[in-house]
Copies of this chain bind each other. A is one copy, B any other.
Amino acid sequence: MSVRRQAGVVLANTGLEVKRLYSDRDDRVLFADLCFQLDAGQLVQIAGPNGSGKTSLLRILAGLSSRYEGEVLWQGKSLLKQRHEYLQQLLYIGHGAGIKAVLSPLENLRWSCALRGLNNNDDKILSALEKVGLSGFEEQACHSLSAGQQRRVNLARLFCIPASLWVLDEPFTAIDQRGVTEIERWLSEFVSEGGAVLLTTHHRLSFAHEFKIVTLGEAANV
């Protein structure tokens, strides 16, 4: 619970603002003049067909890519000037596996937590693993898990690492239907507690609250 409280304190003036963002690949413009805002307690879905630049956008916003022009503001200031504070609030789950295949889910999450300065919180990790439906698999090497189970290990980070901004790239990949519903519920809970979520997905979200959709690609140009 301390997590949420800690997050809550900062949430007051959470706010990611994208101003006139431009990015291209091989002379093909992915997006230009992109502007949107994401406040605490909001969810923004980035939509668009394959290859429209959703992943590229998310990587820029996570600070992993500098292939852009324009501004990204966090709490009113440029991201580049307060990387450290921003990272403290950010939880990014990308396309990739995000886990070491030879290690068990427990070991993987222990390491993930240590990276965020959280040590000795096995209890929280175990409860997170239970939440994502992996109880019984805590000690098994990840490479012997199915595609969906591996994805779930990665998603378990949502529950062990305190953050006020989740950036998720296709979190539903390989997840079964019941799992999708559950994740949607978690997102909903997080948002209603004041968290901010930015995600891409090709699913049609059934989300309790209202949410914004930012569309990239051809659809956006029409």
Contact = CB atoms under 8 A, between A and B. Distances in A.
Interface stretch (A35-43, A74-82, A118-126, A176-184): A176-184
Interface in A170-222: 170, 173-180, 202, 204
A202 B165 CA distance: 28
A192 to B, nearest CB: 26
A48 interface: yes
Interface in A130-183: 133, 137, 140, 144-149, 151-152, 170, 173-180
Main secondary structure of the interface of A (DSSP, over half): loop
User: How many A residues are at the interface, by size bracket?
Assistant: 20 to 34
Contacts of A55: 146-147
Contacts of A25: 144
Interface string A33-59: 000000000000000111110010000
A173 B49 CA distance: 13
Nearest to A178: B49
Contact of A148 (B26, B51, B178): B51
Contacts of A149: 50-51
A173 B176 contact: no
A139 to B, nearest CB: 12
A176 B49 contact: yes
A55 to B, nearest CB: 6
Contact of A146 (B26, B50, B137): B50
| Of A52, A177, A180, A202, most B-chain CB atoms within 10 Å | A202
A50 B179 contact: yes
Nearest to A136: B28
Interface centre among A48, A50, A144, A149 (most CB of B within 10 A): A50
A5 interface: no
Contacts of A148: 49-51, 202
Contact of A152 (B26, B50, B145): B50
